[in-house]
């Protein structure tokens, strides 16, 4: 039933103004995603780097700040 439901949903969405509305809704969430991902990365990576010396050493080697 799932392929049939998805096919009907796609047919409805691809007809005219509904397609434009669906695209507008999906594109309008991009700024929110960027904002939330930036905040999450700031907090989560800060915790990971302060509690894990191994992760910090790997990141420093990738950046070239630590001599081999």
Is residue 38, in this structure, part of any structural domain at all? yes
pLDDT of residue 47: 75
pLDDT of residue 62: 82
**Overall pTM surpassing 0.85 (yes/no):** no
How many domains does one find in the chain? 1
Place of tokens 């392929």: 3
Is residue 68, in this structure, part of any structural domain at all? no
Q: Which residues constitute the domain of residue 39?
A: 2-63
Cα–Cα distance measured from residue 25 to residue 32, given in angstroms and rounded to the nearest whole number: 12
CB 18 within 8 Å of CB 12: yes
pLDDT (tens digit, 0 to 9) for every residue of the chain, 68 residues total?
778 877 887 777 777 677 778 778 888 888 998 888 888 888 877 777 777 777 777 877 888 865 55
pLDDT of residue 4: 84
């Amino acid at each position: 039933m799932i392929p049939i439901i998805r096919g009907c949903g796609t047919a409805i969405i691809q007809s005219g103004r509904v397609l434009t509305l669906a695209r507008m809704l999906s594109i309008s969430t991009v700024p929110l995603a960027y904002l939330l991902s930036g905040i999450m990365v700031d907090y989560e990576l800060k915790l990971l780097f302060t509690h894990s010396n191994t992760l910090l050493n790997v990141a420093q080697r990738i950046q070239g700040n630590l001599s081999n």
